[in-house]
């Protein structure tokens, strides 16, 4: 089949004229009833068979087609009296104010109208918006008091939302409104922005109402056999009922008052039929009290037709379940429950080469794994294997050209996704590993790109159906190809938590293993390499250091030097002689100096991992990550690692020094307040004296808190050495595995100042935060400084202040996520079609160029060195080493 390219030249919107509505309608709907006692649709009712078919097996009375083929046909309701269309009420108002009440001309002199016409024509020619010009005309015409054409005095027209117009206390009925709109000449209408061929102003007042086909509002049959009608049908029933009553009353010559009431009611029903959320109109409700979902509600908003059926759709071949961790999987893999593997299928085309292989799947059928759920004949017809009685007969017929939809098996490429999909690493391609139980399993290293944890997170999986898609996914989307983030040019996939503390402990100086232990660890991490010479022999036994074993995972010719996370940033770096072992030196693939921590292979920070991906490729990087995580996890599991509240124990001496610092800070604050009161406080530039005081106090208190933290850390470290017992909490903070020194400070020493809106807490009573303080007390404790540590526990007043600060944090995150979500939505809507072409230009779908080189330099940030195009220092280092060798 040849594809003929078609281009949408333009889209034109118009109004339906009454004649048009009548012409497109197949039936005039006259009765409000839908079905008779026998359950057959009534002719002339809302379910008239001429409106289309919904029941399978029947043929349409209008077009003769069956269910899927008949598109449905419109009907109509002849309204006894015209009503205003709510959607156009605002425009009608503008027009009524701009035209003469007698002659219907625009209330502007001929030349002016002509000028607007000219401008409009010009706008149309150059593709500019016509709206502001028409708006301008309305604005100019509404102030005119006397018609320049016929001299008629104009009365003030008031618009009472949503559908009422009042002219000088006299109500304008829709009939009056329609008459006035009818008087507008075609040329005048054009100046007001109408294309009279498709939209006459008076068509905004309805005399006939189109009834949508039944296919638009299908009724559903409940299990009990009861029929339940669509909301639209309910609304149309209301309209017909009132319309009938109105007609009868008019014919019977009922009093004007009654007719007006019924007319008003008809207007209400037609209004809510279009939109049930009009301001000032009580929404029409279902018997249960639920507001009806009428036309506008079907389209609008997140659950509306546009956002949930057109921009996004439900898909087949997908699954969703809870995720859980599995450190034994490769980062490229995903564990899929057998239950799901039996449900998701991959189409396989039968060829002479694979026919025997494929027949095994068919023989197993839909129940037995690994089987198949469908076979597809060359003509596209699908046979469900659950329904096939005689499998052998089917197997006979199976030949090249057929398709077998077989179950997912190990090694299939699938897409794995966690919402919100904020960046491209939120959907990655994984290899399937079919596993027992009911959760998706994933390697811990891929948690950071998905931003996943296991507190109940669920993720989606999509089975790829086509060959091209599979190839693209494998080459471009596989997890190992996404290790480097385009956001900052470093690895986003890497070790977390125990990987880091494990590696840190493993590579500590003094860590040693016997031959057996070394082999055990290497086996667990899947490394088959000979052990080097043992580092030392003691009592005739050979020992290997952690660094030696770690080196076996590194590429053999790797040279790398960097400062670890634990680096103290000393004034003069002692480099290889670093007493903290923070200067990492790798020579010829041997870890000679330094410990492994967050900076080695941690997500967002790993220098070593970064070097391996960039110099040795993604395959090597994946192997490295898989083996290194297995190694350190096995090590730390064997060794044991845990933290408790006693990790925050401080000796008496430390507690005393902390108390002293806090006393000192209190004194300094009082000193500042005294200086302020005596007016000898030195004012900071650009600040009032009061602001200066606040800033100085904040500064003093934050310094005090930091100092207590330093002391706490100092003593924790000293205790660690003295008692030969490591402090797990400190290890995690220092190595970057989890937590920070600030967290430790707050637990062990002092929580510090609580803030609301970046200021010390000041809200509460006038002049004071709580009645426990004197008015005007601005000392540390009265404005939310928490002296205690979390371990000591907070006093009731401190607790209260802490809650204020904490609550602000919660509100901020809630607000931030919603705001950034909307921002992202708008950004993506604007940018979604832009693409970098092969000639490196950025173009939209029309081929219009936006950038001649992306980002002006055409660079892929994920291939840069943390955002830098070239790192001269690294290159020099590399060549210097080569030279030396």
Partner 1 sequence: MRLRKVVRLRRVDISKHELVPKHEVLSEEEARRLLEELNISRGQLPKILKNDPMVQKIKAKVGDIIKITRKSKTAGESVYYRVVVGE
What is the bridge-based pairing of β-strands 759-760 and 755-756?
Answer: antiparallel
CB of 194 within 8 A of CB of 91? no
Site string (21-60) toward partner 1, x via CB under 8 A:
----------------------------------------
Residue the block writes with tokens 């090249």: 400
What is the bridge-based pairing of β-strands 25-28 and 74-84?
Answer: parallel
Nearest distance, CB of residue 488 and partner 1, angstroms: 15
Q: Does 10 bind partner 1 (CB under 8 A)?
A: no
The stretch among 381-389, 474-482, 789-797, 842-850 that binds partner 1 (CB under 8 A) is 842-850
The stretch among 166-174, 280-288, 733-741, 839-847 that binds partner 1 (CB under 8 A) is 839-847
H-helix or E-strand spanning residue 802 = helix 796-831
Binder among 670, 850, 875, 876 for partner 1 (CB under 8 A)? 850
Residue among 207, 208, 184, 205 nearest 196 (CA): 184
561: helix, strand or coil: strand
Nearest distance, CB of residue 485 and partner 1, angstroms: 18
Nearest distance, CB of residue 126 and partner 1, angstroms: 5
Nearest distance, CB of residue 835 and partner 1, angstroms: 14
CB of 275 within 8 A of CB of 265? no
Nearest distance, CB of residue 851 and partner 1, angstroms: 8
Binder among 145, 314, 569, 846 for partner 1 (CB under 8 A)? 846
Q: Which is nearer to partner 1, 468 or 856 (CB)?
A: 856
Q: Which is nearer to partner 1, 791 or 854 (CB)?
A: 854
Residues 524-553 that bind partner 1 (CB under 8 A): none
Nearest distance, CB of residue 240 and partner 1, angstroms: 52
The stretch among 331-339, 480-488, 587-595, 843-851 that binds partner 1 (CB under 8 A) is 843-851
Site string (161-200) toward partner 1, x via CB under 8 A:
----------------------------------------
- Alpha-helix runs per DSSP H in 27-148: 89-98, 110-125, 131-142
Both tokens of residue 751? Answer: 């929580």
Nearest distance, CB of residue 856 and partner 1, angstroms: 4
For partner 1, how many residues bind (rule: CB under 8 A)? 18
Residue the block writes with tokens 């019924």: 262
Per-position DSSP letters for 2-32, written without gaps between them: PPPP------------HHHHHHHEEEE---S
Binder among 306, 536, 852, 879 for partner 1 (CB under 8 A)? 852
Residue among 476, 357, 475 nearest 409 (CA): 357
- Alpha-helix runs per DSSP H in 435-514: 447-450, 467-472, 498-506
Residues 861-880 that bind partner 1 (CB under 8 A): 869
Nearest distance, CB of residue 113 and partner 1, angstroms: 23
The stretch among 579-587, 743-751, 810-818, 857-865 that binds partner 1 (CB under 8 A) is 857-865
Nearest distance, CB of residue 136 and partner 1, angstroms: 18
Residues 224-283 that bind partner 1 (CB under 8 A): none
Q: Does 422 bind partner 1 (CB under 8 A)?
A: no
Nearest distance, CB of residue 870 and partner 1, angstroms: 12
Q: Which is nearer to partner 1, 315 or 848 (CB)?
A: 848
Q: How many CB atoms are closer than 10 A to CB 154? A: 21
Nearest distance, CB of residue 841 and partner 1, angstroms: 7
- Alpha-helix runs per DSSP H in 315-473: 338-341, 355-364, 391-397, 447-450, 467-472
586: helix, strand or coil: strand
Residue the block writes with tokens 């190839």: 471
Per-position DSSP letters for 246-301, written without gaps between them: HHHHHHTT--HHHHHHHHHHHHHHHHHHH-TT-TTSPPPB-TTSPBP--HHHHHSS
Q: Which is nearer to partner 1, 379 or 856 (CB)?
A: 856
Q: Does 855 bind partner 1 (CB under 8 A)?
A: yes
Nearest distance, CB of residue 132 and partner 1, angstroms: 15
Q: Which is nearer to partner 1, 71 or 855 (CB)?
A: 855
Nearest distance, CB of residue 872 and partner 1, angstroms: 16
Instruction: Report the b/e string of 710-724 with b at 16+ CB within 10 A.
Output: ebbbebbeebeeeee
Binder among 839, 845, 872, 882 for partner 1 (CB under 8 A)? 839
To 5 degrees, how large is the angle CA 544–CA 549–CA 550? 140
Both tokens of residue 102? Answer: 């007698």
Q: Which is nearer to partner 1, 19 or 837 (CB)?
A: 837
Cis, peptide link before residue 420, omega less than 30° from 0: yes
Binder among 252, 721, 847, 872 for partner 1 (CB under 8 A)? 847
Binder among 321, 426, 788, 841 for partner 1 (CB under 8 A)? 841
Q: Does 859 bind partner 1 (CB under 8 A)?
A: yes
Q: Which is nearer to partner 1, 466 or 855 (CB)?
A: 855
Q: Find residue 542's DSSP bridge partners.
A: 537
Residues 73-132 that bind partner 1 (CB under 8 A): 126, 128
Q: Which is nearer to partner 1, 805 or 861 (CB)?
A: 861
CB of 517 within 8 A of CB of 632? no
Q: How many CB atoms are closer than 10 A to CB 400? A: 12
Q: Which is nearer to partner 1, 4 or 848 (CB)?
A: 848
Q: Does 856 bind partner 1 (CB under 8 A)?
A: yes
Binder among 843, 865, 874, 881 for partner 1 (CB under 8 A)? 843
As a whole number of angstroms, the distance between CA 265 and CA 242 comes to 7
The stretch among 113-121, 437-445, 526-534, 851-859 that binds partner 1 (CB under 8 A) is 851-859
Q: If 0-12 CB within 10 Å is exposed, 13-18 middle and 19+ buried, where does residue 779 land? A: middle
Binder among 169, 857, 883, 885 for partner 1 (CB under 8 A)? 857
Q: Does 885 bind partner 1 (CB under 8 A)?
A: no
CB of 329 within 8 A of CB of 442? yes
To 5 degrees, how large is the angle CA 765–CA 766–CA 767? 110
403 secondary structure, DSSP code? E
Q: Does 9 bind partner 1 (CB under 8 A)?
A: no
Residue among 611, 577, 557, 612 nearest 882 (CA): 557
Q: Does 853 bind partner 1 (CB under 8 A)?
A: yes
Residue among 192, 172, 176 nearest 184 (CA): 192
Residue the block writes with tokens 């190992």: 480
Q: Does 848 bind partner 1 (CB under 8 A)?
A: yes
Residues 121-150 that bind partner 1 (CB under 8 A): 126, 128
CB of 546 within 8 A of CB of 506? yes
Residues 559-578 that bind partner 1 (CB under 8 A): none
The stretch among 399-407, 722-730, 792-800, 838-846 that binds partner 1 (CB under 8 A) is 838-846
Residues in contact with 822: Cβ distance below 8 Å, sequence separation at least 6, in sequence order: none
The stretch among 4-12, 464-472, 473-481, 848-856 that binds partner 1 (CB under 8 A) is 848-856
Beta strands in 532-580 (DSSP E): 536-538, 541-545, 560-563
Cis, peptide link before residue 346, omega less than 30° from 0: no
Residues at the site binding partner 1, with contacts judged by CB under 8 A: 126, 128, 839, 841, 843, 846-850, 852-853, 855-859, 869
């Amino acid at each position: 089949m040849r594809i003929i390219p078609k281009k949408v030249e333009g889209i034109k919107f118009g109004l339906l004229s009454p004649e048009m509505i009548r012409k497109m309608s197949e039936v005039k709907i006259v009765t409000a009833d839908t079905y008779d006692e026998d359950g057959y649709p009534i002719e002339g009712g809302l379910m008239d068979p001429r409106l289309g078919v919904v029941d399978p097996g029947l043929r349409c009375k209008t077009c003769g087609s069956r269910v899927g083929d008949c598109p449905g046909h419109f009907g109509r309701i002849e309204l006894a009296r015209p009503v205003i269309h709510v959607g156009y009420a605002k425009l009608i108002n503008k027009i009524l104010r701009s035209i003469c009440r007698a002659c219907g001309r625009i209330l502007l002199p001929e030349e002016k109208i002509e000028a607007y016409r000219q401008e409009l024509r010009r706008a149309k020619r150059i593709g500019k918006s016509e709206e502001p010009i028409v708006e301008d005309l309305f604005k100019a015409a509404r102030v005119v008091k006397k018609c320049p054409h016929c001299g008629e005095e104009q009365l003030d027209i008031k618009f009472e939302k949503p559908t009422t117009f009042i002219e000088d206390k006299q109500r304008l009925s829709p009939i009056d409104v329609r008459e006035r709109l009818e008087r507008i000449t075609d040329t005048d209408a054009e100046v007001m922005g109408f294309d009279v061929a498709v939209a006459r102003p008076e068509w905004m007042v309805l005399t006939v109402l189109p009834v949508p086909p039944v296919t638009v509002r299908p009724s559903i049959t409940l299990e009990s056999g009861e029929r339940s009608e669509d909301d639209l049908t309910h609304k149309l029933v209301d309209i017909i009922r009132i319309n009938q009553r109105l007609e009868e009353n008019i014919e019977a010559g009922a009093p004007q008052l009654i007719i007006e009431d019924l007319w008003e009611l008809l207007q209400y029903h037609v209004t809510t039929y279009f939109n049930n959320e009009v301001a000032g109109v009580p929404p029409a409700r279902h018997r249960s009290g639920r507001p009806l979902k009428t036309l506008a509600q079907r389209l609008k908003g997140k659950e509306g037709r546009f956002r949930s059926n057109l921009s996004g759709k439900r898909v087949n071949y997908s699954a969703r379940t809870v995720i859980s961790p599995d450190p034994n999987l490769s980062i490229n893999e995903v564990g899929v429950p057998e239950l799901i593997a039996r449900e998701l299928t991959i189409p396989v085309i039968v060829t002479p080469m694979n026919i025997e292989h494929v027949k095994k799947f068919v023989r197993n059928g839909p129940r037995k794994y690994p089987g198949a759920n469908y076979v597809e004949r060359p003509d596209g017809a699908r046979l469900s294997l659950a329904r096939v009685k005689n499998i052998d007969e089917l197997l006979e017929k199976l030949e090249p050209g057929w398709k077998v939809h077989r179950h997912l098996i190990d090694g299939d490429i699938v897409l794995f996704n966690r919402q919100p999909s904020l960046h491209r690493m939120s959907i990655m391609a994984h290899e399937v590993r079919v596993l027992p139980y009911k959760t998706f399993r994933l390697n811990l290293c891929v948690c950071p790109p998905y931003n996943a944890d296991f507190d109940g997170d669920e993720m989606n999986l999509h089975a790829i159906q086509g060959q091209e898609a599979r190839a693209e996914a494998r080459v471009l989307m596989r997890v190992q190809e996404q290790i480097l983030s385009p956001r900052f040019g470093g690895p986003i996939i890497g070790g977390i938590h125990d990987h880091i503390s494990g590696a840190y402990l493993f590579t500590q100086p003094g860590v040693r293993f016997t031959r057996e232990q070394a082999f055990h660890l290497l086996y667990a991490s899947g490394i088959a390499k000979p052990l080097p010479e043992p580092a030392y022999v003691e009592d005739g036994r050979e020992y290997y250091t952690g660094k030696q074993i770690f080196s076996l995972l590194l590429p053999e010719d790797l040279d790398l030097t960097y400062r670890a996370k634990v680096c103290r940033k000393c004034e003069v770096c002692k480099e290889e002689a670093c007493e903290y072992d923070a200067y990492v030196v790798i020579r010829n693939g041997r870890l000679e100096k330094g410990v492994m921590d967050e900076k080695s292979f941690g997500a967002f920070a790993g220098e070593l991992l970064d070097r391996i991906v960039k110099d040795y490729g993604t395959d090597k990087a994946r192997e490295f990550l898989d083996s290194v995580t297995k190694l350190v996890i096995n090590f730390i599991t064997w060794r044991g690692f845990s933290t408790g509240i006693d990790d925050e124990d401080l000796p008496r001496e430390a507690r005393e020094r902390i108390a002293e610092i806090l006393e000192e800070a209190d004194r300094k604050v009082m000193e500042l307040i005294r200086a302020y009161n005596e007016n000898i406080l030195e004012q900071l530039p650009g600040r009032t004296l009061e602001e200066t005081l606040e800033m100085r106090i904040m500064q003093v208190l934050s310094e005090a808190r930091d100092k207590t933290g330093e002391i706490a850390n100092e003593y924790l470290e000293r205790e660690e050495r003295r008692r030969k017992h490591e402090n797990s909490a400190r290890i995690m903070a220092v190595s970057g595995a989890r937590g920070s020194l600030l967290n430790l400070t707050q637990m062990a020493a002092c929580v510090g100042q609580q803030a609301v809106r970046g200021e010390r807490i000041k809200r509460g009573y006038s002049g004071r935060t709580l009645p426990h303080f004197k008015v005007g007390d601005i000392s540390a404790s009265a404005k939310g400084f928490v002296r205690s540590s979390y371990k000591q526990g907070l006093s009731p007043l401190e607790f209260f202040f802490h809650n204020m600060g904490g609550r602000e944090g919660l509100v901020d995150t809630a607000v931030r996520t919603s705001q950034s979500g909307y921002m992202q939505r708008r950004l993506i809507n604007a940018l979604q079609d832009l693409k970098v072409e092969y000639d490196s230009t950025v173009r939209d779908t029309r081929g219009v160029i936006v950038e001649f080189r992306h980002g002006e330099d055409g660079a892929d940030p994920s291939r840069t060195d943390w955002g830098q195009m070239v790192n001269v220092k690294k290159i020099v280092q590399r060549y210097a080493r080569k030279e030396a060798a």
